[in-house]
């Protein structure tokens, strides 16, 4: 089993739709969680950190479910510019912990 798993998609949704995707992780000791966005042929960029209580940034909401070991990203009122690949990132607590990337979920917003 992969340490971090994401549905690769692609998710193809109309503009204005709400879309959500999950990322599951296998190590219950994981400590920090992030969503990154990667545009085609560009580097990943931080979209948002994921906090235990859940957090929102405009149209984006991130949730963490420690009991079921997954994080989620919800995008409301999707825009054409939201088309990208979304990577989840999981980091452990200790200094030796690896940074684990999901393989990414491809999202395509159509007009």
Partner 1 sequence: DVKVTQSSRYLVKRTGEKVFLECVQDMDHENMFWYRQDPGLGLRLIYFSYDVKMKEKGDIPEGYSVSREKKERFSLILESASTNQTSMYLCASKLTARGANVLTFGAGSRLTVL
Instruction: Decide if 55 contacts 64 (C-beta within 8 A).
Output: no
Q: Where are the beta strands (DSSP E) in the chain?
A: 4-6, 11-14, 19-25, 32-38, 44-50, 55-57, 60-65, 70-75, 84-91, 99-101, 105-110
Can you name the residues that pair with 88 across neighbouring β-strands? 35
Burial class (CB in 10 A: 0-12, 13-18, 19+), 104: buried
Stretch that binds partner 1, among 10-18, 19-27, 63-71, 98-106 (CB under 8 A): 98-106
- Residue 74 or residue 92: which is nearer to partner 1 going by CB? 92
| Pick 66 or 79: Cβ nearer partner 1 | 66
Binding mask 9-48 for partner 1 (x = CB under 8 A): ----------------------xx-x------xxxxxx--
Site for partner 1 in 46-65 (CB under 8 A): 46, 49
Residue 44 or residue 78: which is nearer to partner 1 going by CB?
44
Q: Which is nearer to partner 1, 36 or 78 (CB)?
A: 36
Out of 73, 83, 104, 107, point to the residue binding partner 1 (CB under 8 A): 104
The structure tokens 């000791």 sit at: 29
């Amino acid at each position: 089993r992969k340490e971090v798993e994401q549905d690769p998609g692609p998710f193809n949704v109309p503009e204005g739709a709400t879309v959500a995707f999950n990322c599951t992780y296998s190590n219950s000791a994981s400590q920090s969680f992030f969503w990154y966005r990667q545009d085609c042929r560009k580097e990943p960029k931080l979209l948002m950190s994921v906090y235990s209580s859940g957090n929102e940034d405009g149209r984006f909401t991130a949730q963490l479910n420690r009991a079921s070991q997954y994080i989620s990203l919800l995008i409301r009122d999707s825009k054409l510019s939201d088309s990208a690949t979304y990577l989840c990132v999981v980091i452990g607590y200790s200094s030796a912990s690896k940074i684990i990337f999901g393989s990414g979920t491809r999202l395509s917003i159509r007009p």
